[in-house]
Structure 1
Amino acid sequence: MGTRFDKRRFYADKGPASLFERVHYIMDPVKEIRFTGHFLDRQHDRHIPQNIIDRCQNFDARKWKLVAAEVRIDKGKFVNSCWEIPVNGDIYWLVIGFGNAAETIISKKYSAFRRTEYTKEEYDFVEQVNRELMQENRDI
């Protein structure tokens, strides 16, 4: 099921820095991830071992690598984030969306995210929105 708004994917290695600061600000306190039916279907379809799922349930943003965030481009706010989880020499990507719900999981060796294109104006807008949101949080 698709979304009703346009999204762009931004990567942590390319910024904007304020977006990824914001993702960490929101996700750092999260300790547990909820699994949706869609997620469990993807686990089954992609033959993801149960021990990987068990590891995902105990989320720790300080130990996992933030890879990417998808942003609702009309608002500039992230709608999901992708985290890299190393397990026994393999790397998995876990996408976490609204309500700390796991959306999907995939082994990095079988897939790669496609880079999404965005304009300089979109990048600047996302940077500004998230910088302002982080400033508001610092002012509280």
Structure 2
Amino acid sequence: MGVPVSLRTGRHALERLAGRHAPTGRLVEFDPDTWELVSADVRTDTGKWVKSTWSVDVDGRRWWVVIGLGSTVVTVIDVAPERVGLGDGIVTEGPLYEFVAGVNAKLMG
């Protein structure tokens, strides 16, 4: 996830992209230098990365792109600019947060 890559899309993702009138061509060209990491899901029992959500602005609209294994788009979400992805179950500090930050650092390296 540390270099630009063309993301793959399966049937579910293509349905979401079409149903949400998303700019597919722009949302499948991942670039970590211009996309912002919103969240990462890591298995706490193994330390293995599961998926991550990234924010990207395209033509004045903010999109979240969920990327899973194999650089595959899981789904896309058209979000309000002020949305930050924090809810009751989101960990933002402490041992679990540090654990995930370590896994992310290795992935981005």
TM-aligned CA deviation for residue 31 of structure 1: 1.4
Name the structure 2 match of 1:73: 44
TM-aligned CA deviation for residue 58 of structure 1: 1.8
Scaled by the length of structure 2, the TM-score of the pair is: 0.74
Amino acid at match of 2:29: N
Which one scores higher on RCO, CA 8 angstroms, separation ≥ 6? 1
Matched, 1:45 2:19: yes
Among 10, 19, 23, the residue aligned to 1:36? 10
Q: Deviations over 1:46-80 (max 9, x none)?
A: 232xxx21012221101111111122232233211
Structure 2 unaligned spans of 5+:
none
Among 115, 119, 131, the residue aligned to 2:87? 115
Q: Secondary structure at the match of 2:30?
A: coil
Amino acid at match of 2:76: I
Amino acid at match of 1:80: K
- 1:1-140 pair list within 5 angstroms: 27-48=1-22, 52-109=23-80, 113=85, 115-117=87-89, 123-125=94-96, 127-128=98-99, 131=102
Bigger radius of gyration among the two: 1
Q: Deviations over 1:78-100 (max 9, x none)?
A: 21111111011110110101000
CA pair 67-42 structure 1, distance change in 2 beyond 3 A: same
* RMSD between superposed Cα atoms in Å: 3.0
Whichever structure has more helix as a proportion of its residues is 1
TM-aligned CA deviation for residue 44 of structure 1: 2.5
CA pair 90-123 structure 1, distance change in 2 beyond 3 A: same
- How many correspondences in the alignment? 104
Percent identity, please. Answer: 33
Distance, in Å, in 2 between the alignment partners of 1:133 and 1:84 is: 16
Scaled by the length of structure 1, the TM-score of the pair is: 0.60
Structure 1 unaligned spans of 5+:
1-26
